[in-house]
Amino acid sequence: MPRFASLAGISLILTIIMACARYPVREGDAAVDRRVLTHDQVADTNAKNAYDAVSALRSIWLSPRGVDSFRTPGEVLVYFNDIRFGGVESLKEISTSDVGFIRYFSGSEAAARWGLDHGHGVIYVSVLPGY
């Protein structure tokens, strides 16, 4: 009986883990990651800069989420090819024709990658190869 109980427990844990796993949304035959905007998606907006493209496609990325302080309000930060570029307003300086992809990192993902002062998230912009 104890062996059956441990197998049942393991089976239950695996079932819970699989149920909680993130699966990408499917559009047609291609899997779509809602945290990434491709070059084609950005180009389809006919926006002139990355800020307008993100605003049109994923406006929620532009607003900080999470715990904030009255003295030091947080902001979503922008990285352009691994270089800290500024706040979301700096996206206005990036032409959509230069964008390879744009990826959003949640506060916890950003803090783990870049440090605790990134707790409100990061919008990472990658330039097209050859620029």
β-pair partners for 102: 37, 125
CA angle (85 as vertex; 67, 121 as ends), nearest 5? 25
Give the contacts of 119 (CB within 8 A, at least 6 positions apart): 66, 67, 74, 107, 108, 110, 111
For residue 39, give the 3-state DSSP assignment. Answer: helix
Q: Where are the domains of the chain?
A: 29-127
So what's the pLDDT on residue 65? 75
**pTM of the full structure:** 0.73
Phi, psi angles (nearest 5°) of residue 50:
-65, -35
Q: Is pLDDT of 127 > 70?
A: yes
Phi, psi angles (nearest 5°) of residue 67:
-70, 140
The per-residue pLDDT for range 75-104, each reduced to its tens digit, is 999 999 999 999 999 999 999 999 999 999
The per-residue pLDDT for range 26-58, each reduced to its tens digit, is 555 456 789 999 999 999 999 999 999 999 999
**CATH H-level, domain 29-127: superfamily:** TonB-dependent receptor, plug domain (2.170.130.10)
So what's the pLDDT on residue 17? 64
Quote the DSSP letter at residue 72.
S
